[in-house]
Amino acid sequence: MSYRLLGDLVVVLHLLFILFVAAGGLLVLPRPRLALLHLPAVVWGALIEFTGGICPLTPLENLFNRLAGHRGYDGGFIDHYLLPIIYPEEMTREIQIGLGLLVVAINAALYLLLIRRSLRRRSRK
């Protein structure tokens, strides 16, 4: 398998992980046991945003890109791939914290919905 393909696979995996962190609560609504995977992912994603850290997948992407003869990139996955689409400016600390808060807010709302649904079901029995 080529390094370029491995780099591309890591990018896809990275994007899927971000989507799972941001909106995986929608998958938890019909499958509550999935929360055992989703909640740690949310905590990890929020911590990366709040601390200004870099996800370990980013250096792995860069490694495969360099091994394939392409230049790696500075910063994180969101900085490089998503922010140029969403925002025209560079990633700032404020934007990063805002993204972390957005992840927490979306998932808190989804889990509150899940808890309310569960309580309603129990009260009917």
pLDDT in tens, 59-81: 888 898 889 887 766 666 666 67
Spatial distance between the Cα atoms of 21 and 103, rounded to a whole number of angstroms? 7
Q: Count of domains in the chain?
A: 1
51, two tokens? 């601390």
Spatial distance between the Cα atoms of 26 and 30, rounded to a whole number of angstroms? 8
User: In this predicted structure, what is the pLDDT of residue 82?
Assistant: 63
Residue 61: which domain range? 3-124
User: In this predicted structure, what is the pLDDT of residue 89?
Assistant: 63
Give the 3-state DSSP-derived string for the chain, with helices as H, strands as E and coil as C: CCHHHHHHHHHHHHHHHHHHHHHCHHHHCCCHHHHHHHHHHHHHHHHHHHHCCCCCHHHHHHHHHHHCCCCCCCCCHHHHHHHHHHCCCCCCHHHHHHHHHHHHHHHHHHHHHHHHHHHHHHHHC
**What is the value of pTM for the model shown?**
0.75
In one-letter notation, the amino acid at residue 84 is P
How many Cβ atoms are within 10 Å of 59's Cβ, its own excluded?
13
User: In this predicted structure, what is the pLDDT of residue 85?
Assistant: 61
In one-letter notation, the amino acid at residue 54 is I
pLDDT-flagged residues of the chain (< 50) = 88
